[in-house]
Amino acid sequence: MCPQQVKALFFDIDGTLASSPEHIIHPLDIESLEKLHKSGYMLFIATGRDLSIPEEAKILTPVLPLFTGFVHINGQHCYLADGTEISQHPIADEDFLPLRAVCEQHHLSMLYRVGNVNHLSEMTFRVKRYWAQMGLPIPEIRPMAPDIHDIPKLCIHASPEDEEKYLKPHLNHTWTARITEDLIDLIPIGIGKSSGLRDVCGYFHIDLSQTMCFGDGQNDLDLIQAAGIGVAMGNAAVNIKNEADYITKNANEAGITHALRHFGLI
């Protein structure tokens, strides 16, 4: 695709728009996003974060007014900056309820939302290690209430072995995206960042070929594959780089700016 045809750009946050674990957006990338915005490009976030939680959205403060809309919770919820809803896809009870039961039985801590606050179902060593590596405070430990259902967000602190042994037998309508050795995202089948990309593009009547998408992690794979131009960060996993149209520099090296200059968008 000719870069001049690009109308909308989608950015992952962690490891892409912001460096990890510093959670800092490079000053050059802030300037570049401002230039894109002034030039009339539509800018969107595509993240596994739950941006309805203030602590998770805070990282976007320097650039928030530049974005037209948001694909968050790995495509499970898409909305515009003015609050307009585009799509929602909660995890169905037929998967969630048995997953919850097996997690409680085998002490796999669940990260979930109540209102606009993250909670963990219990404390485990994987919880401590993950949140320490992220440089973030551990959410409040709060066992799930019995009436929770149609959950909008679910992450589980589980090893690859526990995922295979305890969780996969119950994933009839759900797939997993591993974030680290200690944490996975649970996502309805057919839903992901690429479905969010399609929902947003459908709303604005933008062809997928007119998009440029940036990412680095396993939950960015389908986004990179679906984009008109898929850009993998220098710090991206090997399989992400293999699917990308272009590999840029690391997030802490202003990789977004480097790619935008390469394609002549700024």
Nearest to 250 by CA among 231, 232, 235: 235
Taking 80 as the threshold, does the pLDDT of residue 1 lie above it?
no
Predicted confidence band at 3 (pLDDT cuts at 50, 70, 90)?
low
CA–CA dist 123, 50 (Å, integer): 21
Fold of 3-88+191-262: Rossmann fold (3.40.50)
Per-residue pLDDT of 38-48, as tens digits, reads 999 999 999 99
- What is residue 55's predicted lDDT score, i.e. its pLDDT? 84
CA–CA dist 114, 116 (Å, integer): 6
Predicted confidence band at 200 (pLDDT cuts at 50, 70, 90)?
very high
Give percent above pLDDT 70 in the chain.
98
- What is residue 179's predicted lDDT score, i.e. its pLDDT? 87
Per-residue pLDDT of 140-168, as tens digits, reads 999 999 988 888 889 999 999 999 999 99
CA distances from 42 to 76, 131, 250 (A): 20, 33, 23
Region 111-137 average pLDDT: 91
CA–CA dist 145, 107 (Å, integer): 16
Which of 51-65, 88-102, 222-236 has the highest average model confidence (pLDDT)?
222-236
Nearest to 91 by CA among 172, 157, 187, 176: 187
Q: What is the CATH number of domain 93-188?
A: 3.30.1240.10
Taking 70 as the threshold, does the pLDDT of residue 234 lie above it?
yes
- What is residue 226's predicted lDDT score, i.e. its pLDDT? 97
Q: Decide: 188 and 230 in contact? Cβ < 8 Å.
A: no
Average pLDDT, the chain: 94
Instruction: Considering only residues 150 and 259, tell me which one the structure prediction assigns the higher pLDDT.
Output: 259
- The token pair at 176 is 């997993």
Predicted confidence band at 99 (pLDDT cuts at 50, 70, 90)?
very high
- What is residue 54's predicted lDDT score, i.e. its pLDDT? 87
- What is residue 2's predicted lDDT score, i.e. its pLDDT? 58
- What is residue 136's predicted lDDT score, i.e. its pLDDT? 81
Predicted confidence band at 182 (pLDDT cuts at 50, 70, 90)?
very high
- The token pair at 162 is 């526990």
Report domain extents, the chain.
Answer: 3-88+191-262, 93-188
Tell me how long the chain is: 266
